[in-house]
């Protein structure tokens, strides 16, 4: 087997130069937000994968990559930047021949932005080439990595995903799928994987199904991807969700499913519904748009001040504001206009630049808010940067009163499964009371969706059952669904907030 023709290094116009040897192996784990795509047996595998990745761009805007196999060789293109910047070019797609492909979009916050971290990762194993793209974060990735390095492994990247390659390489089992399963037995945390060998396309979802992974069908060819919006983009049919703990393999003989883990109640990440997934996707059988509307309606049910208009913080607050307005009967107005040509706020690395980013991103629509008592809705509050700027902007544009509502509960704990959130010190709600937060953001009143209300909106009338919580909701409750091997120091308990009370 030959090594892939990887054009990343020599052709990348955004490359910051030679690979740095400094690393953060002893530091925080890498936090990544990602999307994956894979297709088997299609003559235009790379072009279709590029389109699929374009639909998943919201899941990661820092880097993207595609690896294909053409029957004798692997080919790889991995770049920093947006999918459209790289994969809309015909010559790039032409360098990716083959009928099987895997692709990845990525955004990470720690570790240098360097090409060797861009996925899909590729390794030459004794049984042949192996490429893998990963959405999620392992919670024992650092521990496994230290162990592997101690035993002589030479790591090429700083991603936790690379330990999977090494574990597969070191397995003594005969068949690829058995080696892959053995590797999965060693890892903990969240993973939705798409992998490629010279014979197979493989998909895998962690035993709790923390991150999403769906199966689609394009004219009889199987597709694996993070969200159904990628299937819609290419005109493929949704077939089903890959089940938690399922490993699915496609080769010339067809599809085979393996379920090597003891069954456990699933714990899909609730943040996919709140913020992360695209509203037109169906996640776990639920329309993300409808769920977000239900969160908004529930907010209105829980707490409804006297107001003239409901205004979303675009785009993330729009569905919840529609739901709030429909439930309460208060008119919905586009009081804030978003500039679509700036990246997501979080892409900016420092607080000062982040604040600048927020101002660049949103403008007040004076005609819709002047002289009115407005209720602003956003999906979540993290550092408070967005809300503070927006409240000031609304007052400057003549709003009489500005009430702020969040279509999720206060975020009190960090995430270790692939959502980019700061540690506790950076989470406004973990370090301030409701009244302090209201004062900081400068609103006339502030309220969050309650945890039970969030579950009611998801279709559980009894609210959250602590014995069977249904979702990975640790950001709000501290109930982490897996071992946190790399984060074993107990997180101090945050101050308890009165979640239902409105500060005014
Ligand atoms: P902040 O301004 O720090 O309070 O962040 C809240 C804003 O960031 C909201 O508008 C959210 O839509 C958005 N947001 C929430 N979680 C994330 C995330 N993990 N990555 C990027 N943006 C996020």
Note whether residue 497 is domain-resident. yes
Instruction: Report the distance separating Cα 134 and Cα 159, nearest Å.
Output: 10
Domain count across the chain: 2
Structure tokens at 39: 């297709």
Phi, psi for 193 (deg, rounded to 5): -120, 145
Confidence of residue 360 (pLDDT cuts 50, 70, 90): confident
Radius of gyration of the chain (CA): 23
pLDDT at 304 (0 to 100): 95
User: Which positions are annotated as active-site residues?
Assistant: 34
**237 and 129 belong to one structural domain:** yes
Structure tokens at 36: 């994956």
pLDDT at 212 (0 to 100): 98
CA distances from 137 to 31, 174, 206, 313, 420 (A): 7, 28, 11, 29, 10
Phi, psi for 79 (deg, rounded to 5): -135, 155
Pocket test for ligand 1, best of 270, 314, 345, 429 (most atoms within 8 A of CB): 345
- DSSP states along 326-362: HHH-PPB---EEE-TTS--GGGS-SHHHHHHHHHHHE
CATH number of the domain within which 79 lies: 3.60.20.10
- Give the DSSP letter of residue 466: T
Q: Which residues contact 76 (CB under 8 A, 6 or more apart)?
A: 4, 5, 6, 7, 8, 65, 66, 67, 68, 96, 120, 122, 131
Asked if pLDDT for residue 195 goes beyond 80, the answer is yes
**309 and 258 belong to one structural domain:** no
In terms of residues, how long is the chain? 504
Question: Hunting for tokens 């014979």 — which residue is that?
Answer: 199
pLDDT at 489 (0 to 100): 55
Instruction: Check pocket membership of 275 for ligand 1, CB cut-off 6 A.
Output: yes
Give the ligand 1 atom nearest the CA of 420.
Answer: 19
Asked if pLDDT for residue 109 goes beyond 80, the answer is no
**240 and 357 belong to one structural domain:** no
Distance 380 CA to ligand 1 centre (A): 6
Note whether residue 278 is domain-resident. no
pLDDT at 358 (0 to 100): 59
Mean pLDDT of 354-382: 88
Better-scored residue on pLDDT, 352 or 307: 307
Question: Hunting for tokens 């892959």 — which residue is that?
Answer: 180
- Kindly state the percentage of the chain with pLDDT values over 70: 86
Instruction: Report the distance separating Cα 242 and Cα 195, nearest Å.
Output: 14
Final residue of a domain: which of 201, 234, 266?
266
pLDDT at 349 (0 to 100): 52
- Give the DSSP letter of residue 316: T
20-38: pLDDT as tens digits: 223 333 333 345 689 999 9
Note whether residue 373 is domain-resident. yes
**103 and 244 belong to one structural domain:** yes
Alpha-helical segments (H) within 114-175 = 141-150, 162-170
Instruction: Report the distance separating Cα 117 and Cα 106, nearest Å.
Output: 9
Mean pLDDT of 359-379: 94
Instruction: Report the distance separating Cα 361 and Cα 122, nearest Å.
Output: 37
Mean pLDDT of 378-399: 96
Structure tokens at 114: 């360097």
Mean pLDDT of 53-80: 96
Instruction: Check pocket membership of 8 for ligand 1, CB cut-off 6 A.
Output: no
In this prediction the pTM is 0.90
Instruction: Check pocket membership of 295 for ligand 1, CB cut-off 6 A.
Output: no
Asked if pLDDT for residue 280 goes beyond 90, the answer is yes
Confidence of residue 488 (pLDDT cuts 50, 70, 90): confident
Mean pLDDT of 442-464: 98
Instruction: Check pocket membership of 379 for ligand 1, CB cut-off 6 A.
Output: yes
Query: What is the span of the domain harbouring residue 439?
Result: 287-503
Asked if pLDDT for residue 51 goes beyond 90, the answer is yes
Mean pLDDT of 473-487: 96
Strand order across the beta sheet in which 192-197 lies: 121-125, 128-135, 192-197, 201-205, 247-251, 254-258
**378 and 440 belong to one structural domain:** yes
Confidence of residue 343 (pLDDT cuts 50, 70, 90): low
Mean pLDDT of 465-492: 88
pLDDT at 431 (0 to 100): 96
Note whether residue 461 is domain-resident. yes
Asked if pLDDT for residue 167 goes beyond 80, the answer is yes
Q: Which residues contact 365 (CB under 8 A, 6 or more apart)?
A: 333, 334, 335, 336, 337, 397
Asked if pLDDT for residue 16 goes beyond 80, the answer is no
CATH number of the domain within which 440 lies: 3.40.50.2020
**Contact predicate 52/37, CB 8 Å:** yes
Mean pLDDT of 371-399: 96
**258 and 310 belong to one structural domain:** no
Neighbours of 308 (CB within 10 A): 16
Note whether residue 244 is domain-resident. yes
Instruction: Check pocket membership of 419 for ligand 1, CB cut-off 6 A.
Output: yes
Give the mean pLDDT of the chain. Answer: 89
**231 and 298 belong to one structural domain:** no
Strand, coil or helix: what is 25? coil
Mean pLDDT of 366-387: 97
Distance 382 CA to ligand 1 centre (A): 6
Note whether residue 14 is domain-resident. no
pLDDT at 115 (0 to 100): 84
Angle ∠(287,41,279) on CA atoms, nearest 5: 15
Distance 489 CA to ligand 1 centre (A): 26
Neighbours of 161 (CB within 10 A): 27
Instruction: Check pocket membership of 271 for ligand 1, CB cut-off 6 A.
Output: no
Give the ligand 1 atom nearest the CA of 358.
Answer: 2
CA distances from 412 to 62, 299, 474, 501 (A): 27, 19, 9, 16
Instruction: Report the distance separating Cα 340 and Cα 61, nearest Å.
Output: 14
Pocket test for ligand 1, best of 380, 404, 407, 408 (most atoms within 8 A of CB): 380
Instruction: Check pocket membership of 382 for ligand 1, CB cut-off 6 A.
Output: yes
pLDDT at 341 (0 to 100): 77
Better-scored residue on pLDDT, 357 or 466: 466
What count of Cα atoms within 13 Å lies in the side-chain half-sphere of residue 54?
14
Structure tokens at 439: 């004062």
Mean pLDDT of 348-372: 78
Beta-bridged to residue 39, according to DSSP, are 101, 223
170-185: pLDDT as tens digits: 999 999 999 999 999 9
Final residue of a domain: which of 236, 266, 296?
266
Instruction: Report the distance separating Cα 502 and Cα 302, nearest Å.
Output: 10
Instruction: Check pocket membership of 384 for ligand 1, CB cut-off 6 A.
Output: yes
Residue nearest to atom 11 of ligand 1 (CA): 380
Neighbours of 193 (CB within 10 A): 29
Final residue of a domain: which of 237, 266, 295?
266
**97 and 190 belong to one structural domain:** yes
- Kindly state the percentage of the chain with pLDDT values over 90: 80
Pocket test for ligand 1, best of 382, 383, 413 (most atoms within 8 A of CB): 382
Question: Hunting for tokens 């249904």 — which residue is that?
Answer: 470
Q: Is the dihedral of CA 490, 495, 498, 502 positive or negative?
A: negative
Instruction: Report the distance separating Cα 420 and Cα 441, nearest Å.
Output: 22
Question: Hunting for tokens 């021949």 — which residue is that?
Answer: 97
Note whether residue 22 is domain-resident. no
Note whether residue 221 is domain-resident. yes
Phi, psi for 423 (deg, rounded to 5): -70, 175
Neighbours of 152 (CB within 10 A): 6
Asked if pLDDT for residue 49 goes beyond 80, the answer is yes
- DSSP states along 435-461: HHHHHHHT-SEEEE--HHHHHHHTT-T
Strand, coil or helix: what is 278? coil
**367 and 473 belong to one structural domain:** yes
**217 and 304 belong to one structural domain:** no
**376 and 292 belong to one structural domain:** yes
**302 and 236 belong to one structural domain:** no
Asked if pLDDT for residue 414 goes beyond 90, the answer is yes
């Amino acid at each position: 087997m030959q090594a892939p023709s990887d054009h990343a290094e020599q052709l990348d116009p955004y490359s910051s130069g030679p690979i740095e040897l400094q690393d953060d192996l002893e530091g925080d784990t890498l936090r990544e937000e990602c999307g994956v795509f894979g297709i088997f047996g299609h003559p235009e595998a790379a072009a279709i994968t590029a389109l699929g990745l374009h639909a998943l761009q919201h899941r990661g805007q820092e880097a993207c990559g595609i690896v294909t196999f053409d029957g004798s060789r692997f080919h790889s293109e991995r770049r920093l930047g947006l999918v459209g910047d790289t994969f809309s070019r015909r010559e790039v797609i032409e360098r990716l021949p083959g009928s099987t492909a895997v692709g990845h979009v990525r955004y990470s916050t720690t570790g240098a932005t360097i090409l060797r971290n861009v996925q899909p990762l590729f390794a030459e194993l004794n049984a042949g080439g192996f490429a893998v793209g990963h959405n999620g974060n392992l919670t024992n990735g650092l521990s496994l990595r230290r162990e592997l390095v101690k035993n002589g492994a030479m790591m090429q990247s700083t991603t936790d995903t690379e330990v999977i390659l090494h574990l597969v390489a070191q397995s003594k089992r005969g068949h690829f799928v058995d080696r892959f399963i053995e590797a999965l037995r060693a890892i903990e945390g969240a993973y939705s994987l798409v992998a490629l060998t010279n014979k197979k396309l493989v998909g895998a979802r962690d035993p709790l199904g923390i991150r999403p992974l769906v199966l689609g069908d394009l004219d009889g060819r199987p597709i694996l991807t993070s969200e159904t919006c990628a299937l819609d983009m290419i005109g493929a049919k949704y077939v089903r969700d890959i089940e938690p703990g399922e490993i699915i393999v496609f080769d010339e003989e067809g599809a085979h499913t393996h379920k090597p883990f003891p069954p456990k109640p699933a714990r899909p990440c609730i943040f996919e519904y709140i913020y992360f997934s695209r509203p037109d996707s169906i996640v776990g059988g639920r329309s993300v748009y409808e769920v977000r509307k239900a969160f908004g309606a529930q907010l209105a049910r829980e707490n409804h001040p006297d107001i003239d208009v409901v205004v979303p913080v675009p785009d993330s607050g729009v569905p919840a504001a529609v739901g709030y307005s429909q439930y309460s009967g208060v008119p919905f107005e586009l009081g804030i206009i978003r500039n679509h040509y700036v990246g997501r706020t979080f892409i900016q690395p420092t607080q000062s630049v982040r604040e600048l980013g927020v101002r660049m991103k949103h403008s007040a629509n004076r005609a819709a808010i002047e002289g009115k008592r407005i209720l602003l809705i956003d999906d979540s509050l993290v550092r408070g940067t967005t809300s503070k700027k927006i409240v000031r902007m609304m007052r400057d544009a003549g709003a009489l009163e500005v009430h702020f509502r969040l279509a999720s509960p206060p975020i009190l704990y960090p995430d270790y499964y692939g959502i980019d959130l700061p540690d506790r010190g950076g989470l406004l709600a973990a370090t301030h009371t409701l009244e302090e937060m209201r004062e900081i953001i400068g609103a006339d009143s502030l309220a969050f969706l309650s945890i039970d209300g969030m579950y009611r909106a998801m279709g559980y009338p009894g609210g959250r059952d602590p014995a069977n919580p249904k979702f990975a909701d640790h950001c709000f409750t501290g109930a982490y669904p897996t071992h946190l091997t790399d984060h074993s120091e107990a997180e101090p308990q945050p101050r308890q907030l009165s979640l239902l009370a409105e500060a005014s």
